[in-house]
Chain A
Amino acid sequence: MTNRTIQVDVLARVEGEGALTLVLDGDTVVEAKLKLFEPPRLFEAMMRGRDCTEAPDITARICGICPVAYEMSACHAVEDALGVRVDGALRELRRLLYCGEWIESHVLHMVMLHAPDFLGFPDAMALAKHHPERVRGSLRIKQAGNAIVAVLGGREIHPVNIKVGGFYRVPSRAELAQLLPALRGALDEAQDMLDWLATFEIPSFARDYELVALRHPSEYPMNEGRLVSTKGLDIDVHEFRAHIEEYQVAHSTALQARMIGRGSYQSGPLARFVHNADRLSPIAAASAARVGLDPTCRNPYRMLHVRGVEVIYALDEAIRIISSYAPPAAASVPLVMRAGTGQAVTCAPRGILYHRYVVDDAGLVSDAQIAPPTAQNQLGIEEDLFAMGPTLAAMSLEAATRRAEHAIRNYDPCISCSTHFLTLRFEQRGTP
Chain B
Amino acid sequence: MARPKLAVWKFSSCDGCQLSLLDCEDELLAVADAIDIAYFPEASSRVEPGPYDLSLVEGSITTPHDAERIRDVRAQSGALITIGACATSGGIQALRNFRDHPQMMAAVYAHPEYIATLATSTAIANHVRVDFELRGCPIDKRQLLELVSAFLHGRKPNIQSHSTCIECKLRGTVCVMVARGQPCLGPVTHAGCGALCPTYARGCYGCFGPSDAPHPRPLAERLVALGATRAEVVRLFSTFNAAAPAFRDEANRDD
Contacts and interface: CB of A to CB of B under 8 A. Distances in A.
Interface stretch (B74-82, B89-97, B157-165): B89-97
A331 B201 contact: yes
Given A41-B93, A61-B137, A63-B14, A116 B45 contact: yes
B138 A125 contact: no
B32 A125 contact: yes
The 10 nearest A-B residue pairs measured at CB: A64-B16, A123-B44, A45-B104, A122-B46, A169-B201, A45-B107, A64-B14, A39-B12, A12-B45, A168-B202
A15 B43 CA distance: 9
Interface string B187-227: 00000010011011110010100000000000000000000
Interface stretch (B23-31, B125-133, B148-156, B246-254): B23-31
A157 B28 CA distance: 17
B122 interface: no
A67 B32 contact: no
Nearest to A51: B235
A350 interface: no
Contact of B22 (A41, A62, A108, A122): A108
Interface stretch (A77-85, A247-255, A339-347): A247-255
Contacts of B37: 123, 125
A16 B25 contact: no
A122 B38 CA distance: 12
Contacts of A420: 10-11, 59
B63 A15 contact: no
Contacts of B93: 41-42, 46
Interface in B16-64: 16-20, 22-23, 25-26, 28-29, 32, 37, 40-47, 59, 62-63
A92 B3 CA distance: 48
9 contacts: A51-B232, A51-B235, A64-B138, A67-B14, A123-B37, A125-B29, A125-B43, A126-B44, A248-B111
A30 interface: no
A146 B25 CA distance: 10
A139 B95 CA distance: 37
B14 A416 contact: yes
Contacts of B232: 51
Given A39-B117, A46-B92, A16 B15 contact: yes
A303 interface: no
A362 B235 CA distance: 14
Contact of A112 (B22, B107, B207): B22
A123 B114 contact: no
B23 A45 contact: no
A18 B126 CA distance: 25
Contacts of B111: 248, 250
Given A42-B105, A65-B15, A250-B114, 15 more contacts: A12-B46, A16-B15, A39-B11, A41-B12, A41-B92, A46-B92, A46-B96, A63-B14, A108-B19, A143-B25, A161-B200, A168-B197, A248-B110, A248-B111, A250-B111
Count chain B CB atoms within 10 A of each CB in A16, A48, A67, A416 and give the residue with the most.
A416
Contacts of B239: 54, 57-58
A416 B95 contact: no
A249 to B, nearest CB: 8
B88 to A, nearest CB: 14
Interface string A25-44: 00000000000001111111
A108 B42 CA distance: 11
Contact of B108 (A38, A45, A64, A124): A45
Contact of A154 (B62, B107, B108, B199): B199
Contacts of A58: 92, 239
Interface in A232-281: 247-248, 250, 253, 255
Could you say which interface size class chain A belongs to?
35 or more
Contacts of B114: 248, 250
A156 B23 contact: yes
Contact of A160 (B11, B40, B202): B202
Nearest to B19: A64
Contact of A64 (B11, B17, B240): B17
Interface string B110-151: 110011010000000000000000000110000000000000
A128 interface: yes
A247 B96 CA distance: 23
A215 B141 CA distance: 37
A13 B42 contact: yes
B104 A46 contact: yes
A156 B141 CA distance: 10
A57 B239 CA distance: 9
A99 B25 CA distance: 19
B42 A122 contact: no
Contacts of A253: 115
A423 to B, nearest CB: 11
A305 interface: no
B45 A122 contact: yes
Nearest to A42: B104
B43 A112 contact: yes
Count chain B CB atoms within 10 A of each CB in A46, A62, A142, A414 and give the residue with the most.
A46
